[in-house]
Structure 1
Amino acid sequence: MIDFNRLLSQLLYNPADPVLFNSAFFFYFFALFLLCYLAVSRSSQGRVWVYTVFSLYFFYKACGFYVGLVILSAIVDFNLSRWIYNTPSRSVKKSLLVFSIILNIGLLFYFKYTDFFIGIINDLTQGHIRPLHLLLPIGISFYTFENLSYTIDVYRGEIKPVNRFMDYLFFLSFFPKLMMGPIVRAADFIPQISQPYRLNTDDIGKGMYLIIGGLFKKIVISDFIYQNFVQYIFDDPSKHTGLECLIGVYGYALVIYCDFSGYSDMALGIARWTGFKIPPNFDSPYQSSSITEFWRRWHISLSSWLRDYLYIPLGGNRKGKVRQYVNLALTMLIGGFWHGASWNFIFWGGMHGAALAVDKVRIDWLKKSKTVITGWKATSLKILGVLITFHFVCFCWIFFKAATFHDAWSLIHQIVYDFQPGIWTELYQGYTAVFWVMVLGFILHFLPSRMEFTTEKLLGRLPLAASVAVMVIFIWLLVQVKSTQPMIPIYFQF
């Protein structure tokens, strides 16, 4: 007999158990969604309605009635963008754009930064203003930036506003990317809505590879390393030796990459299976030989958004070298602040901004000197660049992850003054499985991209029955190794 009360509790929002791509509920949700989606696959508006309804329900399962914010944002920016487009007066257009920016940034500011600034005011004035302790709506940073880019692009004349409200709500609420990105541009996404739904072997193979790879990164690598080692190190670095802390930092570099890129890969794979192509968000970032290259490979949708809608409007490199370096630093400071209301994030963004400015000086010097390095020297410099860039990024991750500045400096202190390399044997014996998973993670990360393409082609050639069997076997294997309680993705808090 069906337990309707239990079924109802599963269908309603539970703040202690938000829906995740790697949860059992999502597999049932996705299977039902695919059945409904395929049933209306010949109708573009049918696909829009099914996708939107399931997306809004998915968001409801993730953060309850905050789903209303997505709908409200869509209503406001759909109408403002059309007003901007149809208004002949340049000054009115600009006023409407400013109004849209204030509304979107104001909504984000209210939920994300109110308590942060209340704390600053209390510290400066010795006041006693009570923090509001607002619950941060999941995904608000991502869909706010999508709203902003849409209205700005309409104002610039780069795109025309959509005619149907449901098309815009569909774009904004598209569940694969709603909560953790990538940040998708309307100009890239909306033209695909009217395209007929067709899948070829490339779509099937690429989608399967991305979904399987994303789940593997998230569950097998990220969750395992974090739950069995990294979290102990960062909970209280002072209790651990410098060697443990250093390996913990390397572990966290893998954790945050596999956690975030794993979710992004799953989003891309699900979108691909349903007929949509969204831009990749990561491109093996730890292979970068400079910090400039790193930001072309890491969180690509955010770095390109900051470039197009912040760095370039600030003046970019058009107003002299000093102004360019200031623009870089300011852009990265704001990028750090986007991640959260914390001085740690601002410091993290500031370090990356300073590093980008220094790297820009290096690049300009090489261009002026017309220095050309080839052969083994070029290879050696590239390897050295990869090592330096990776360790700088890891150093910055300490401040990104640590709860406070004190914890961050405590971890650094342990590495510098209490390294104790002699405990390696004992440490290895206690965390053998963790260390080998870390080795596996770095090996997979540094594999050449041609192996990825070969795997995608192989999966794409499989007959339907074999494809289903591969997915079922892989999911069964994941169930055997994953923890009983799914780990909340790191970027949910942003």
Structure 2
Amino acid sequence: MLDFDKILSHLLYDPKDPILFNSAFFLYFFAVFLLCYQLVSHNQRGRVWVFTLFSLYFFYKACNEYVLLVILSAIVDFNLSRWIDRLESKTKRKWLLVFSIVINVGVLFYFKYTNFFIGIINDIGMGKISFMHIALPIGISFYTFENLSYTIDVYRREIKPVNKFMDYLFFLSFFPKLMMGPIVRAADFIPQIYKPYQLNNEDVGKGMFLILGGLFKKVVISDFIYQNFVQYIFDDPTRHTGIECLLGVYGYALVIYCDFSGYSDMAIGIARWMGFTIPANFKKPYQSSSITEFWRRWHISLSSWLRDYIYIPLGGNRKGKFRQQVNLMLTMLIGGFWHGASWNFIFWGGMHGGALAIDKVWIKWQKGKTWLKSNVIIAPIWKLAGVLFTFHLVCFCWIFFKSETFSGSWALIHQVTHDFQGNLFMDIIHAYPWVFTLMGIGYFIHFLPGKLENKVEVGLTRLPIWGSIAVMVLFIWTILQVKTSEPMIPIYFQF
């Protein structure tokens, strides 16, 4: 006999069990969604309504009543953008744009930064204000940036605003990318709404490759390494030797990459199955030989957003070298602050901004040394040195990104520099055999040439339908056998 109360409890929001791509409930949600979507697949308006309603329910399951924020922000920017487009007066259009920016950024600041600034006011002795109990709505940073880019693009007359509100709500609430990105531009996404739904073998194969690869990175590699090693190191670095702390940093570098890129890959793969192409958000970032290249490969949707809507409007590289370096620093400080209301994130952004500014000078110096790239012996060694240096620079910055406090960051660094005990390396490896096996697999896969991945994708596109289903079922069964008992909340949920 069916237990309707139990079924209802699963359907309602549960703060202890938010919906995740790797959760059991998502499989049921996605199966029902696929069925409904296929029933209306040849009706453009039907697809919009089904997708939007399921997306809003998905968001409700993730953060309860804060789903209303998505709807409200869609109402505001849908109407403001249409008003901006109709006006001819440049002054009025600019004021409406400012109004839109103030509303979007104001809402983001209220939920994300109110207590941060209260803390600053209290620390400098300007008051004794009590902290407010404000829950951070999941995904607010992502859909706020999408709202801003849409209104700004309409203001610049780079795109025309949509005519139907449901189309804009569909774009903003699109559940594969709603909570953790990628940050999708309206100019790239909205035109796809009006195309007929056609799914070919390439879409099936590419989507499957991204979903399976994303699940493997997130559930098998990231969750296991974090829960069985990395979290212990960062919880209290002073209890561990320097070699353990260093290996913990290497582990976290892989954890955050596999966690976020894995979730992004799943989002892009699910979207591909629904007939929507979303650009890649990661391109093997640890293969980068410079910090500039790293930011072209890491969280591409955010770095390109910061470039187009902050760095270039500030002047970019058009106002001299010094101004360019200032613009880079300001952009990365804002990028760090976007990640969270913490001095650690601001410091992390500042370090990357400073590194990018120095890298511009370094790149200019290298241009005059053609032998660095043309010499068959020196060129590969030079590139390898660049990859190793960039990777360790990024890992050093991750320490501040991950640690809750500055003291925690410096405590870990102190252990590495003052209590290294490298002779314990093999003992640590033997103590955590599965952790380091998965770390080895993770880094090995990351540094594999892209051509091998393309061959796997091509192989999946050639499978018949029954073969694709068999691969999916077998893979998901394998994931269920090896995954950790408690699903780990994705790192970027907090942003």
Specify if TM > 0.5: yes
Counterpart of 1:406, as a letter, is S
Deviations 1:371-407 (A, max 9, x none): 6532121110000000000000000000000010000
> Where has structure 1 moved over 6 Å in runs of 4 or more?
none
User: What corresponds to 1:403 in structure 2?
Assistant: 404
User: What corresponds to 2:9 in structure 1?
Assistant: 9
* 1:370 CA drift (Å): 5.9
User: What corresponds to 1:348 in structure 2?
Assistant: 348
* 1:307 CA drift (Å): 0.2
Relative to structure 1, the CA distance from residue 371 to residue 360 in structure 2 (aligned partners, 3 Å threshold; closer, same or farther) is: farther
User: What corresponds to 2:99 in structure 1?
Assistant: 99
User: What corresponds to 1:415 in structure 2?
Assistant: 416
Deviations 1:7-55 (A, max 9, x none): 1110000111100000000000001000000000001110000000000
RMSD: 0.9
TM-score by length of 1: 0.99
Relative to structure 1, the CA distance from residue 100 to residue 184 in structure 2 (aligned partners, 3 Å threshold; closer, same or farther) is: same
* Alignment coverage as a number of residue pairs: 494
* 1:142 CA drift (Å): 0.2
* 1:422 CA drift (Å): 1.9
User: What corresponds to 1:487 in structure 2?
Assistant: 488
- Counterparts of 1:160-171 in structure 2, within 5 Å, are 160-171=160-171
Q: Distance in 1 between matches of 2:438 and 2:52?
A: 38
Q: Distance in 1 between matches of 2:453 and 2:177?
A: 22
Answering whether residue 57 of structure 2 is matched by residue 57 of structure 1, we say: yes
Counterpart of 1:8, as a letter, is L
Deviations 1:145-174 (A, max 9, x none): 000000000000100000000000000000
Counterpart of 1:448, as a letter, is P
Q: Helix, strand or coil for the counterpart of 1:312?
A: helix
Q: Distance in 2 between matches of 1:119 and 1:282?
A: 35
User: What corresponds to 2:81 in structure 1?
Assistant: 81
Q: Distance in 2 between matches of 1:3 and 1:267?
A: 32
User: What corresponds to 1:264 in structure 2?
Assistant: 264
User: What corresponds to 2:244 in structure 1?
Assistant: 244
Counterpart of 2:70, as a letter, is V
Answering whether residue 428 of structure 2 is matched by residue 424 of structure 1, we say: no
Deviations 1:180-221 (A, max 9, x none): 000000000000001010111110100000000000000110
Q: Helix, strand or coil for the counterpart of 2:46?
A: helix
User: What corresponds to 2:373 in structure 1?
Assistant: 373
Deviations 1:103-155 (A, max 9, x none): 00000000000000000000011632011131000000000000000000000
Q: Distance in 2 between matches of 1:482 and 1:443?
A: 20
Q: Helix, strand or coil for the counterpart of 2:373?
A: coil
User: What corresponds to 1:232 in structure 2?
Assistant: 232
* 1:426 CA drift (Å): 2.2
Deviations 1:291-338 (A, max 9, x none): 000000000000000000000000000101000000000000000000
Counterpart of 1:435, as a letter, is F
TM-score by length of 2: 0.99
Q: Percent identity?
A: 72
User: What corresponds to 1:109 in structure 2?
Assistant: 109
Of residues 416-425 and 176-185 in structure 1, the stretch that sits farther from structure 2 once superposed is 416-425
| Alpha-carbon contact 2:372-2:378 (below 8 Å) kept | no
User: What corresponds to 1:441 in structure 2?
Assistant: 442
Q: Distance in 2 between matches of 1:410 and 1:79?
A: 51
Q: Helix, strand or coil for the counterpart of 1:243?
A: helix
Relative to structure 1, the CA distance from residue 392 to residue 461 in structure 2 (aligned partners, 3 Å threshold; closer, same or farther) is: same
User: What corresponds to 1:388 in structure 2?
Assistant: 389
User: What corresponds to 1:282 in structure 2?
Assistant: 282
Q: Distance in 2 between matches of 1:187 and 1:307?
A: 16
* 1:362 CA drift (Å): 1.1
| Alpha-carbon contact 2:372-2:382 (below 8 Å) kept | no
Q: Distance in 2 between matches of 1:362 and 1:487?
A: 40
Q: Distance in 2 between matches of 1:126 and 1:232?
A: 38
- Counterparts of 1:270-309 in structure 2, within 5 Å, are 270-309=270-309
Q: Helix, strand or coil for the counterpart of 2:18?
A: coil
| Alpha-carbon contact 2:74-2:172 (below 8 Å) kept | yes
Q: Distance in 1 between matches of 2:365 and 2:471?
A: 52
| 5+ residue gaps, structure 2 | none
User: What corresponds to 1:318 in structure 2?
Assistant: 318
Q: Distance in 2 between matches of 1:261 and 1:6?
A: 34
User: What corresponds to 1:459 in structure 2?
Assistant: 460
Q: Distance in 1 between matches of 2:216 and 2:298?
A: 19
* 1:367 CA drift (Å): 3.3
Q: Distance in 2 between matches of 1:411 and 1:248?
A: 10
Q: Distance in 1 between matches of 2:411 and 2:126?
A: 28
Of residues 482-491 and 253-262 in structure 1, the stretch that sits farther from structure 2 once superposed is 482-491
Q: Helix, strand or coil for the counterpart of 2:124?
A: helix
* 1:278 CA drift (Å): 0.6
Answering whether residue 37 of structure 2 is matched by residue 37 of structure 1, we say: yes
Deviations 1:204-256 (A, max 9, x none): 10000000000000011000000000000000000000000000000000000
| 5+ residue gaps, structure 1 | none
Q: Distance in 2 between matches of 1:28 and 1:167?
A: 26
